[in-house]
Structure 1
Amino acid sequence: MLIIKSLLLQCGVGLLLVTGCQLRADERPNGGLPLTQSIAAKPAVVAAAIPDSLALTPLPVLPGVPDTLRRAIRQLHTALGPAAAALRPEVLEQACVGYLTLHPTGRIERAGLLAVADMDLPSTTPRLWVLDLRKGQVLHRSLVAHGEGSGKLRATRFSNLEESACTSLGFYRTAGTYDGIHGYSRRIEGLDKGQNANAFDRYVVLHAADYASPKYIRQHGRLGYSRGCPALPPEQYKEIIASVRVGSMLLLSGPGLASRWLDGAAAGRRFSRHGWK
């Protein structure tokens, strides 16, 4: 009997590793129980008990950012044009400061490109941008889903825990691609200890999902939920995943983001020597 239970447990854990966050919120085994409950009989993570609102969370000014870099970021925002109108300047500043701080460490190998998602925006808003910093161009803008544990229309809770089904905030390095249950997908590695360092082990990846599409919004008034993955529209995912090749930077920004890479002074020094290279 003990041997049988052990085999069943191993199979369950194997299923979790294969699927990771990639089960749809409405496609669960065991009569609709979350996967974590079906394996370990643990209570589901409940999103923060506050009503959805369209009022965005104010972002504090990053300390230590020199005026020359702030002006350059404002000029970049203007150059990006209408496609970046909904990209808040404060979030763009976070992404640029993180990129400039990370790049010289060798953690980010691809120069001049970054992807940033403002997860404080409602899921009905295209809130992911892929940017060419040197050309001042928006390469892609798309919808992106948040985790089931993070909220409904708005993401109000973020977690690094394995069974949270939450989105994890912070800076990521893009890794290799593979063919999964959603087809062409890309692994991502969390670079912020305590905020997203478990992302790779949780199998948080970039992948396509039918619940991350305009059609789903028309039917349900919001996007569906992932198990923590930044899931992308089926119409755009291939181009987006291909553009953020291995070694690119991704920022998932949201309320409560704290990162060692938001070092304004270090970013200013890097920019004064090399610009966006």
Structure 2
Amino acid sequence: MVRLRGVWEFVTASAGKAHITGCLAVTLLTAGCQLRAEEAQTPAKKLVSTAAALTSAALPAGAAPVPDSLRLTPVPALAAVPDTLRQAIEQLHAALGPAAATLRPEVLEQACVGYLTLHPTGRIERAGLLAVADMDLPNTAERLWVIDLQEAKVLHRSLVAHGEGSGHLRARRFSNQESSACTSLGFYRTAGTYDGIHGYSRRIEGLDKNQNANAFDRYVVLHAADYVSPQYVRQYGHLGYSRGCPALPPEQFKAIIATLRVGSMLLVSGPGLASRWLDGPAAGRRFLQRGWR
């Protein structure tokens, strides 16, 4: 309650009654994932400094040290991934080049294993393509990648927002609950597009029963948001927040949504990810049969 009172006093003082009325109207009238009213901002200079330190945590050894409390959460190694597949994933990561420098190999392995396990089931129809978001990275980092597996090429790399219920610079809490305003971890299938309160958007279906199965009903979708931009980061030191949607930069969202057409796979990774699709042996068998096709 103390924090909420502080937020209210700040917004009232800085924005005025007209702004408050507008923000409340948007909040009350929109459903699903929506643009939230901005909460009180820490001084931008301090936040930019903190964001820079957090971003450095995603860099290889030799980068500037950060406090232990800000270090990225280690990603557990997947069990029983065959050496042949593990080596192929390592080669893929190397071939992706500088565009994937901050894509952690362990997270890429999660995405590849999930793709290879899901595709034969028919839940993912789009072959040779995957998208992965590492929500453990700070939201000031470009932490979404769309990858062409057969060409070993990063097609898109961008900023992506997490839900306001998940945390500030980094997402630390994840939920599948309707009113949580949190990001949900797990594997998703992209569905159809529509024009909604955020304009052109693409729906996504959660494929992990205990982690993201409510995403479709929650209207967790891919959409553009003006709070997902380098300009916003420069002003506030962090991105704004969605109601759980992986919101995208206005300059990139159309191209990303177009690439991730119906039946593509998206992995939203983060601490606590658990999925039946992280099946190393099944992925290994599929890779031996058909490679990335």
Report what 1:264 is aligned to: 280
Instruction: Determine which of 260, 264, 273 is the counterpart of 1:244.
Output: 260
Report what 1:67 is aligned to: 83
Instruction: Determine which of 130, 148, 153 is the counterpart of 1:114.
Output: 130
Report what 1:187 is aligned to: 203
Cα pair 2:129 2:148 within 8 Å, conserved? yes
What displacement does 1:17 show?
Answer: 9.4
* Equivalent AA in structure 1 for residue 135 of structure 2: M
Any gaps of 5 or more consecutive residues in structure 1?
1-14, 28-50
Q: Does 1:127 align with 2:143?
A: yes
Identity of aligned residues (%): 83
The separation in 2 between residues aligned to 1:110 and 1:26, in whole angstroms, is 37
Report what 1:6 is aligned to: none
The separation in 2 between residues aligned to 1:222 and 1:92, in whole angstroms, is 25
The separation in 2 between residues aligned to 1:94 and 1:24, in whole angstroms, is 31
Across the aligned residues of Structure 1 and Structure 2, the Cα RMSD in angstroms comes to: 1.6
Note the 1:1-277 alignment, pairs <5 A.
19-26=31-38, 53-277=69-293
What displacement does 1:16 show?
Answer: 7.6
What displacement does 1:53 show?
Answer: 4.6
Cα pair 1:25 1:227 within 8 Å, conserved? no
Deviations for 1:22-71, whole angstroms, at most 9, x for unmatched residues?
132439xxxxxxxxxxxxxxxxxxxxxxx995310001110010000000
Deviations for 1:144-172, whole angstroms, at most 9, x for unmatched residues?
00000000000000000000000000000
What displacement does 1:255 show?
Answer: 0.1
Structure-2 change in CA distance of 1:17 and 1:24 (3 Å): closer
* Equivalent AA in structure 2 for residue 185 of structure 1: S
What displacement does 1:95 show?
Answer: 0.0
Structure-2 change in CA distance of 1:16 and 1:171 (3 Å): farther
The separation in 1 between residues aligned to 2:139 and 2:258, in whole angstroms, is 23
The separation in 2 between residues aligned to 1:17 and 1:201, in whole angstroms, is 17
The separation in 2 between residues aligned to 1:173 and 1:75, in whole angstroms, is 26
Cα pair 1:17 1:202 within 8 Å, conserved? no
Deviations for 1:109-128, whole angstroms, at most 9, x for unmatched residues?
00000000000000000000
The separation in 1 between residues aligned to 2:69 and 2:88, in whole angstroms, is 32
The separation in 1 between residues aligned to 2:68 and 2:162, in whole angstroms, is 14
Structure-2 change in CA distance of 1:201 and 1:191 (3 Å): same
Structure-2 change in CA distance of 1:187 and 1:74 (3 Å): same
The separation in 1 between residues aligned to 2:260 and 2:268, in whole angstroms, is 14
The separation in 2 between residues aligned to 1:132 and 1:249, in whole angstroms, is 12
Cα pair 2:35 2:225 within 8 Å, conserved? no
What displacement does 1:21 show?
Answer: 1.2
Cα pair 1:25 1:226 within 8 Å, conserved? no
Any gaps of 5 or more consecutive residues in structure 2?
1-26, 40-66
Q: Once superposed, which parts of structure 1, at least 4 consecutive aligned residues long, lie more than 4 Å away?
A: 15-18
Structure-2 change in CA distance of 1:16 and 1:176 (3 Å): farther
Q: TM-score, normalised by structure 1?
A: 0.84
The separation in 2 between residues aligned to 1:52 and 1:231, in whole angstroms, is 28
Cα pair 2:223 2:248 within 8 Å, conserved? yes
